[in-house]
C-alpha cells in the first residue's frame, strides 16, 4: 500500500512503548458488537473503544461488554487502529477520517455500493499512507485455506469446474433490503472474492439470473432472493455460484472444486447463522488485522481485491437486468 510502511513503523513504535494496541470499533450492530468483544479478549489489544451514530446504543453496549464508549468525532484520537462496522452508506466518510488520522483500517464489505466511490475510497486511503484490510472473513476459515492449498499444491490436477453456494438461514430485516445493494453486492460478493482467492484466477465473465420466491420486499427493491451465476475464470474454467436469502434447515455456505486428478469440498449446512459458521474465521481475521496494524504483516485482503470482487458483482447486476452475458470490467 505504498506509504503505509511509514505509518506502520510509527504504530509499532507506540505499541512497543505500551505493549499492546488501542482499537476503535465504529458501529455496534451485530457484526460490530462481535468484533468489539473479540478484540477485547485479545492479549495484543489493551483497549477497545466503540462509537456509533446512536451514542446511547454505544454506551449501553460498552456497559454490557466491558469496553469504552465515545462519540464518533472523538474516537479517532487516542487509538492505534480502527474497525469500520457501520452501515455501508457512511463507510466513505469514516474511511476518510481514519485515513486523515493515518490509522490502519479494517472495513467491512462492501466498501461502498457505488463502485466509483469504492475506488475513490481505496485511492484516498492509499494516498494518505493508511493501511486497509477489507472484511472478507472466508479467507481466514480453515476449510477455504485448505482448498487454496490443495489448488496450489497441484493435488487436484487442472481445475475444471467450481461451484459456490451462499444461502442465509433467514432473510434480512425488510428495512435492510433497500440499502443492501442487492444479492450480488451483499451476498454473492463473498463468492466473488473467495473463488479467485482459492483458485488464483480472476472471474472475467458472468451470466446472472434470479428469482423471487419469498418476501415481496426484494421484488419491490428490484432485487431477487434466489440467484444463480454462471462464471468463467481467466484460464477458461467454468463455475457456478448460487445464493439465497432463506433456507430453513440452516446457513448453507460451500465451495466445491473439481480437477483432473481430484476434488475438494468445504463447508455445508450449519444450524445458526453466519456468526455460528464463521465465528472463528472472524476472530482470525481480527488477529491478522492487529498484526497488520502492528507492522508484522501486509494486508491479507487489500483494497484492490475488494474492488475486483465488487466489479464482478456489478457485472452480475447488469447481466440479470439486461438478460445477457457480461464481461467483468
Query: Is the peptide bond prior to 209 cis by the omega test (within 30 degrees of 0)?
Result: no
pLDDT tens per residue, range 31-45: 999 999 999 999 999
Distances in Å between the Cα of 325 and the Cα atoms of 205, 286, 320 are: 7, 37, 9
Beta strands in the chain (DSSP E): 21-26, 45-51, 68-69, 81-84, 105-108, 132-135, 159-167, 203-211, 226-233, 238-244, 251-259, 263-270, 326-327
Cell matching residue 24? 476503535
Strand-pair partners of 203: 233
Residue ranges covered by each domain of the chain: 4-135, 138-281+308-327
**Do β-strands 159-167 and 251-259 pair in parallel, antiparallel, or remain unpaired?**
antiparallel
pLDDT tens per residue, range 158-172: 999 999 999 999 999
Neighbours of 96 (CB within 10 A): 16
pLDDT tens-place values along the chain, 329 residues long = 222 233 334 444 445 455 589 999 999 999 999 999 999 999 999 999 999 999 999 999 999 999 999 999 899 998 999 999 999 999 999 999 999 999 999 999 999 999 999 999 999 999 999 999 999 999 999 999 999 999 999 999 999 999 999 999 999 999 999 999 999 999 999 999 999 999 999 999 999 999 999 999 999 999 999 999 999 999 999 999 999 999 999 999 999 999 999 999 999 999 989 999 999 999 999 999 999 999 999 999 999 999 999 999 999 999 999 999 999 98
Cell matching residue 271? 444450524
Please report the pLDDT score of residue 20 as a whole number.
85
Strand-pair partners of 21: 45
Please report the pLDDT score of residue 6 as a whole number.
33
Please report the pLDDT score of residue 9 as a whole number.
41
Tell me if 30 sits within 8 A of 52, measured CB to CB.
Answer: no
pLDDT tens per residue, range 91-138: 999 999 999 999 999 999 999 999 999 999 999 999 999 999 999 999
Please report the pLDDT score of residue 1 as a whole number.
27
Q: What is the CATH number of domain 138-281+308-327?
A: 3.30.360.10
DSSP 168-196: -SSPPPGGGGGGS--HIIIIIHHHHHHHH
Of 276, 109, 286, which Cα lies nearest the Cα of 194? 109
- Signed CA dihedral, 300, 305, 309, 314: sign only: positive
Of the chain, the end-to-end C-alpha distance in Å amounts to: 22
Q: Quick one: angle between helices 189-199 and 303-322, nearest 10?
A: 120
- CA–CA separation, 211 and 321 (whole Å): 12
Please report the pLDDT score of residue 33 as a whole number.
98
Q: Right CATH number for 4-135 from 3.40.50.720, 3.40.50.12280, 3.20.20.70, 3.30.70.2740?
A: 3.40.50.720
Q: Which contacts of 283-289 are long-range, i.e. CB under 8 A and separated by 24 or more positions?
A: 283/38, 284/140, 284/141, 285/106, 285/133, 285/135, 285/137, 285/139, 285/140, 286/35, 286/38, 286/39, 286/42, 286/83, 286/106, 287/42, 287/44, 288/133, 288/140, 289/81, 289/83, 289/104, 289/106, 289/133
Grid cell 455496534 is found at 28
Cell matching residue 220? 419491490
Amino acid at each position: 500500500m505504498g506509504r503505509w510502511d511509514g505509518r506502520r513503523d510509527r504504530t509499532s513504535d507506540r505499541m512497543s512503548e505500551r505493549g499492546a494496541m488501542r482499537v476503535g470499533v465504529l458501529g455496534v450492530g451485530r457484526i460490530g458488537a462481535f468484533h468489539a468483544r473479540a478484540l477485547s479478549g485479545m492479549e495484543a489489544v489493551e483497549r477497545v473503544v466503540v462509537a456509533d451514530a446512536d451514542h446511547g446504543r454505544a454506551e449501553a453496549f460498552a456497559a454490557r461488554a466491558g469496553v469504552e464508549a465515545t462519540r464518533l468525532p472523538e474516537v479517532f484520537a487516542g487509538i492505534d487502529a480502527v474497525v469500520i462496522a457501520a452501515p455501508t452508506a457512511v463507510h466513505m466518510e469514516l474511511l476518510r477520517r481514519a485515513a486523515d488520522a493515518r490509522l490502519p483500517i479494517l472495513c467491512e464489505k462492501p466498501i461502498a455500493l457505488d463502485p466509483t466511490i469504492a475506488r475513490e475510497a481505496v485511492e484516498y486511503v492509499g494516498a494518505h499512507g493508511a493501511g486497509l484490510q477489507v472484511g472478507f472473513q472466508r479467507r481466514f476459515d480453515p476449510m477455504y485455506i485448505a482448498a487454496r492449498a490443495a489448488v496450489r499444491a497441484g493435488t487436484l490436477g487442472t481445475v475444471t469446474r467450481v461451484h459456490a453456494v451462499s444461502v442465509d438461514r433467514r432473510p434480512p430485516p425488510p428495512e435492510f433490503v433497500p440499502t443492501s445493494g442487492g444479492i450480488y453486492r451483499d451476498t454473492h460478493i463473498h463468492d466473488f472474492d473467495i473463488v479467485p482467492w482459492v483458485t488464483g484466477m480472476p472471474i472475467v465473465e458472468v451470466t446472472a439470473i434470479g428469482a423471487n420466491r419469498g418476501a415481496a420486499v426484494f421484488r419491490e427493491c428490484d432485487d431477487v432472493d434466489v440467484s444463480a451465476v454462471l462464471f468463467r475464470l481467466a484460464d477458461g474454467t467454468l463455475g457456478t455460484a448460487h445464493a439465497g436469502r432463506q433456507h430453513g434447515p440452516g446457513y448453507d455456505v460451500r465451495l466445491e472444486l473439481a480437477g483432473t486428478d481430484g476434488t475438494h469440498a468445504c463447508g455445508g449446512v450449519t444450524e445458526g447463522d453466519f456468526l455460528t459458521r464463521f465465528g472463528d474465521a472472524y476472530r482470525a481475521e481480527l488477529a491478522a488485522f492487529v498484526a497488520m496494524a502492528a507492522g508484522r504483516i501486509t494486508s491479507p485482503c487489500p483494497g484492490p481485491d475488494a474492488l475486483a470482487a465488487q466489479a464482478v458483482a456489478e457485472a452480475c447486476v447488469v447481466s440479470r437486468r439486461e438478460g445477457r452475458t457480461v464481461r467483468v470490467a
